[in-house]
């Protein structure tokens, strides 16, 4: 489809949008509104900067991406009847992706500034001299644990034994809720022999309450897209680092709670619009800075807030 320029971004909703909105209204503004059209050659400087900064990643997110890509490959290979990848191969694939992100971050600053959607850049290098040895050690340790977790994954074992039919794997999709397009990208949806639909999420971090909430939203997606009864859906979180699994059988009541939460969140977000039909945001000053400033030094958009926050970026870069 040919690219069609839009003056304002398209209105939509997702769980990550909700998290961003709750974390800091200014991040929300930069990420979902100010960055719009920032990819254009003659974009205003705020749009160009917000678009660039939105593309920054960090070591933890990069690890999550590398693990998800490797898990997707493992699922695709199993679907082709190939054997489960050995732990050594899984680990090497994850490390290879991490090395590439690291190398670009060390030497590709100019390329990132020119083409932020094509070149990866770690926050740790963009704003500083790179991560501390402590963080590097922690990530190295986590890579090994996640590789072992994936090789021993309950989900992959079930698929390898032919006990599941893959329906979707890392498939970018949307469904409609209260007239709003909702984005959902479940890591994996498959149908088990017990005639249940399993929605799987691979986690590389620690257990958090909101993880279950996010996967419950995928339940709404499965209900809407596949016409599946809520009682037939089980969500499974595989904590690869810890080697543990949490499962939750959904029901109609749970989906009603998620639906209600989404509706409330959509209404709150619309409260920050100057024109709801156009999805035109109110001016920047209507989006306050974070109440919890402890997140600011890790924020992608620090560069844009530094002056208002009275933070000296030169001092940050030598930390």
Q: Counting contacts by CB under 6 A, is residue 34 touching ligand SF4?
A: no
What is the secondary structure of 206-265 as a DSSP string? ---HHHHHHHHHHHHHHHHHH---GGGEEEEEEETTTTEEEEEE--HHHHHHHHHHHHHH
Strand intervals (E) in the chain? 164-169, 173-177, 180-184, 188-192, 197-203, 233-239, 244-249, 273-275, 280-281
The nearer residue to ligand SF4, 123 or 236, going by C-beta atoms, is: 123
- Write down the least CB distance from residue 299 to ligand SF4, Å: 3
Q: Counting contacts by CB under 6 A, is residue 33 touching ligand SF4?
A: no
Binding residue for ligand SF4, selected from 84, 150, 255, 305, defined by CB under 6 A: 305
The nearer residue to ligand SF4, 224 or 290, going by C-beta atoms, is: 290
**Structure-token pair, residue 255:** 């989906």
Q: Which stretch binds ligand SF4 (CB under 6 A): 165-173, 179-187, 265-273, 290-298?
A: 290-298
The contact mask relative to ligand SF4 for 244-283 (x = CB under 6 A, - = no) is ----------------------------------------
Contacts 24+ apart (CB under 8 A), 148-151: 148/87, 148/240, 148/243, 149/238, 149/239, 149/240, 149/241, 149/242, 149/243, 150/67, 150/70, 150/71, 150/74, 150/87, 150/90, 150/202, 150/240, 151/84, 151/85, 151/86, 151/87, 151/90
- Write down the least CB distance from residue 314 to ligand SF4, Å: 16
Contact 162, 178 (CB under 8 A): no
Binding residue for ligand SF4, selected from 71, 182, 237, 299, defined by CB under 6 A: 299
Q: Counting contacts by CB under 6 A, is residue 289 touching ligand SF4?
A: yes
Separation of alpha carbons 31 and 260, rounded Å: 24
- Write down the least CB distance from residue 123 to ligand SF4, Å: 11
Q: Counting contacts by CB under 6 A, is residue 290 touching ligand SF4?
A: yes
Binding residue for ligand SF4, selected from 24, 150, 182, 200, defined by CB under 6 A: 24
The one-character DSSP state at 287 is S
Q: Counting contacts by CB under 6 A, is residue 86 touching ligand SF4?
A: no
Contact 235, 221 (CB under 8 A): no
Q: Counting contacts by CB under 6 A, is residue 26 touching ligand SF4?
A: yes
- Write down the least CB distance from residue 11 to ligand SF4, Å: 21
Binding residue for ligand SF4, selected from 140, 280, 295, 317, defined by CB under 6 A: 295
Q: Counting contacts by CB under 6 A, is residue 56 touching ligand SF4?
A: no
Binding site for ligand SF4 (CB under 6 A): 24, 26-27, 289-290, 295-296, 299, 301-302, 305
């Amino acid at each position: 489809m040919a690219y069609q320029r839009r003056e304002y971004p398209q209105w939509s909703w997702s769980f990550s949008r909700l998290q961003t909105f709750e974390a800091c209204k200014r991040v929300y503004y930069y990420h979902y509104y100010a960055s719009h059209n920032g990819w254009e050659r003659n974009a205003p400087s705020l749009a160009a900067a917000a678009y660039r900064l939105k593309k920054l990643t960090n070591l933890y997110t990069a690890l999550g991406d590398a693990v998800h890509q490797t898990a997707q490959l493992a699922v695709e290979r199993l679907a082709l009847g190939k054997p489960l990848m050995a732990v050594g191969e899984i680990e090497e694939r994850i490390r290879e992706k991490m090395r590439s992100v690291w190398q670009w971050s060390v030497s590709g600053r100019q390329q990132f500034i020119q083409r932020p959607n094509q070149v990866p850049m770690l926050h740790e290098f963009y704003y500083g001299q790179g991560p501390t040895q402590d963080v590097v050690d922690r990530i190295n340790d986590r890579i090994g644990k996640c590789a072992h977790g994936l090789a021993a994954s309950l989900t992959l074992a079930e698929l390898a034994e032919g006990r599941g039919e893959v329906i979707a794997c890392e498939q970018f999709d949307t469904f409609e809720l209260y007239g709003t397009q909702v984005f959902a990208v479940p890591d994996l949806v498959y149908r088990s022999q017990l005639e249940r639909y399993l929605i799987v999420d691979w986690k590389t971090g620690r257990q958090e309450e909101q993880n279950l909430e996010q996967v419950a939203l995928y339940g709404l997606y499965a209900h809407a897209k596949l016409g599946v009864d809520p009682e037939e859906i089980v969500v499974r979180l595989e904590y690869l680092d810890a080697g543990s699994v949490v499962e939750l059988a959904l029901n109609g009541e749970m989906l009603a709670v998620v639906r209600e939460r989404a509706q409330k969140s959509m209404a709150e977000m619309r409260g920050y619009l100057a024109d709801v039909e156009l999805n035109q945001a109110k001016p920047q000053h209507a989006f306050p800075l974070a109440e919890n400033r402890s997140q600011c030094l890790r924020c992608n958009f620090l560069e844009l807030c530094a002056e208002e926050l009275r933070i000296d970026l030169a001092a940050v870069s030598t930390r």
